[in-house]
Amino acid sequence: MIKARKHITKKEIAHDPFLESINTVKKYFDENKNFISRVSLGFVALIVVGMLFNNNFTSKRETSESALGMAFVNLSSGDRDNGLLQLELIIDDYAGTKAARHSKFMLARLYYEQKNYLTAKLYLLDFLDDPTDEFHVGALILMADIEKFNGNSDGEEKYIKQSMKYASSKSDKDKYSITLAEYYMNEGNIQDALALVVPIIEKYERRSDLYNKAQEILGHLHTVSSDEQ
């Protein structure tokens, strides 16, 4: 026996993203008939394509963010393999979205923690294309540490200085100044290290983390300086 065809209600149609896009376009045509009749067909086609593309981009963004959330859940629960796979799929399937960009940073961080510095560096170099991203400075610090591991002192210095440049606050900039002072200290560059830590000691209250770290570096610098005399 042939089943009766299901009648689709307007309420159900409203929940279909594609049909909703078509309805939006139809509504635009209905409200702008006089205008449309006065412009070329090609221009009207551009308007339609633009509206459909915008709706599709919004749907793509929401889907990619949902996929990133699932990757977070898997990683948090200890399912590292599936988490890594999901992050890689997000990069492939949702290129150009914020979720895909953040997936690159997360993969870089995960490979860095596994001491797979080569793979981590590849993801970081790709991620660092956008200096406005909220994780940009964190990625620069990771790159500096990787360059330190690789014995590339010039690269380490370069990325620390860039992290200072893109720091979102004065306290963050001072924190990375401490990192640069440590770099100079390890390189035997006492004067440049002193030039960074002394202003921080004068600026911050005692017992603050930055003050204590600066004092620690200053004490080491004095010890080295005394040994050299």
Over residues 211-223, the mean pLDDT reads: 92
Global pTM exceeds 0.75: no
Over residues 192-198, the mean pLDDT reads: 95
Separation between Cα atoms, residue 106 and residue 37, nearest integer Å: 51
Residues 134-152: tens digit of each pLDDT? 899 999 999 999 999 999 9
Q: Can you say how many angstroms the Cα of residue 200 is from the centroid of all Cα atoms in its chain?
A: 29
Residues 6-23: tens digit of each pLDDT? 444 444 444 555 445 545
> Which of 14, 21, 30 has its CA nearest to residue 50?
21
The pLDDT, as a whole number, for residue 41 is 44
